[in-house]
A and B are shown apart, each in its own frame.
Chain A
Amino acid sequence: MNVQQLFEAIGSIDDRFIDEAASDAIPHLKWKIAAVAAAAAAVITGTVLYSNAMLNRPTSTPQDLSAPIITVAPNDPTETAQPGADPSSPVYITPEQGGDQTTSPAQPTPNQPYNPGVSGWGSAGLPGLPGSGGSGSGIPGSGMGIPLPGIGGWNGSGGSDPGTVTTPAPTSTPTARIHYIGRYSHSAAGDFLIFCEPHGVPVLTKNITGQIVDGHYAATVYGFPFGQSRYVELQVYDDGSYDLSVS
């Protein structure tokens, strides 16, 4: 018996001992779990965004710009604000919705995956007090209210996000969903798993060969220097074309 055999034999001990030893809270493990969870969340988020982008599906809904956020009615909408007005006497203002509604939010163009921005809204200053002006904020746009002495400032303008193009516009509608975008090393087991819809889409490149098996794409990666890893992304379109990148 050598030590490797002993260690491997220990690897085959009864499941109950393995579960038992893993059952209690592990202070030292918490940070590892947090770190891994954060990394996993980043990967999952990236994958989801990528999939949504491929489906040309917005990941957020623009706010309704027609809805005012303050409903105080003006006493006299034409009233001119006076410096030093008595704060005790009510002065009403008409909240103004900020932002250029013709440009906020930006609209996606056809066949161009898009994540529309969220419009920001300003807030009105306090009536009867030197207004500092509200400020609106969007992501990443921002607005600034107009300070008016004696009455509240105007509502800040809403910001707008021009959105971010996450992928180049495909020439046709993508039909494959990427469920695995990750690190692959040539020195690993030799298989790579990509779930792919629809079935039967052939993929062949100089670096990756494989076939669709039972609804998933099993591929073997060749040509990488031993021990080095690559990120693999597969995108398949309904016309049978595909983009497979190995970076």
Chain B
Amino acid sequence: MNDSQIVQLYWDRDERAIPATDEVYGAYCYTIAHNILQSPQDSEECVNDTYLHTWNAIPPQRPRSLSAFLGRITRNLALKVFHRDRAQKRGGAGLDLVYEELSECISSREQVEQALEERELTAALNDFLAALPLKKRKLFVRRYWYADSISDIAARMDMSESSVSVALHRLRQDLRAFLAERGFAV
């Protein structure tokens, strides 16, 4: 079943939309959740919640890319669980590393620039990514969108782990410079 057929099931309020989504995108969503949460149980729950949110969101929405739509919901839900867990001092250690690395791109983890609109920041990130070569772009997105581990990225892109680490380090430096150039306080 293709994406448009699955989306149509949601629009028809056809309950087969849920198992169809699970069949095509269950593993995809689970991987995203697991990369952030590092917990099979929490990840499974996160995927179930993704289906519920999708059921409630379509209609009225009709996503252009169902995979990105589902992945974004999963990621956001996983982040909520992650922050809840971190507040309770348990679990979710995987994302701490990602946060630590990204902190190099800004001046302080605690500093909050209220004036920054997330939309502007996202637009800048889109420009930054669009200017990157394909391989570097995938590298960045796999690490900082999918929260893949360094070893997973190395295996996926046929690189050594040290090469991945070095490449990501340079990308973070480039992003920091790019954001500074765009007027963001970093």
Asked whether A and B interact, the reply is: yes
A residues with a Cβ closer than 8 A to B are 1-22, 24, 26-29, 32-33, 36-37, 39-40, 44, 179-180, 182-185, 187-189, 191-193, 195, 214-216, 227, 229
Question: What residues of chain A lie closer than 8 Å to B129, measured between beta carbons?
Answer: 13-14, 17
Please provide the 6 A-B residue pairs with the shortest distance between their CB atoms, ordered closest to farther. A15-B68, A21-B141, A33-B27, A15-B65, A9-B121, A12-B122
Given the interface pairs A7-B144, A12-B122, the reply to whether A193 lies near B84 with Cβ below 8 Å is no
B174 within 8 A of A: no
Question: What residues of chain A lie closer than 8 Å to B145, measured between beta carbons?
Answer: 10-11, 13, 17-18, 21
B22 near A185: Cβ-Cβ < 8 Å: no
What mask results when residues 31 to 63 of chain B are scored 1 for a CB within 8 Å of chain A, else 0?
100100000010011001101110100000000
Question: What residues of chain A lie closer than 8 Å to B48, measured between beta carbons?
Answer: 180, 182-184, 188
Question: What residues of chain B lie closer than 8 Å to A37, measured between beta carbons?
Answer: 26-27
What mask results when residues 64 to 102 of chain B are scored 1 for a CB within 8 Å of chain A, else 0?
110111011001110101011000100000010011101
Question: What residues of chain A lie closer than 8 Å to B79, measured between beta carbons?
Answer: 7-8, 11
Interface of chain B residues 95 through 147 with chain A (CB within 8 A):
95, 98-100, 102-103, 105-106, 108-113, 116, 118-119, 121-122, 125-126, 129, 134, 137-138, 141-142, 144-146
Rounded to whole Å, the gap between the CB of B74 and the closest CB of chain A is: 10
Interface size bracket, B side: 35 or more
A29 near B122: Cβ-Cβ < 8 Å: no
Instruction: Please indicate which of the listed interface residues B27, B72, B109, B121 has the most CB atoms of chain A within 10 Å of its own CB.
Output: B27
Question: What residues of chain B lie closer than 8 Å to A40, measured between beta carbons?
Answer: 22-23, 26
Given the interface pairs A1-B185, A37-B27, the reply to whether A6 lies near B137 with Cβ below 8 Å is no
The dominant DSSP class at the B interface is helix
Closest A residue by C-beta to B148: A28
B65 near A18: Cβ-Cβ < 8 Å: yes
A selection of 26 A-B contacts at a CB cut-off of 8 Å is A1-B185, A2-B106, A2-B111, A2-B112, A3-B106, A3-B109, A5-B116, A6-B102, A7-B98, A9-B125, A11-B79, A13-B125, A15-B65, A18-B67, A18-B141, A18-B145, A19-B67, A20-B138, A28-B155, A29-B27, A36-B26, A40-B23, A189-B49, A193-B18, A195-B15, A195-B18
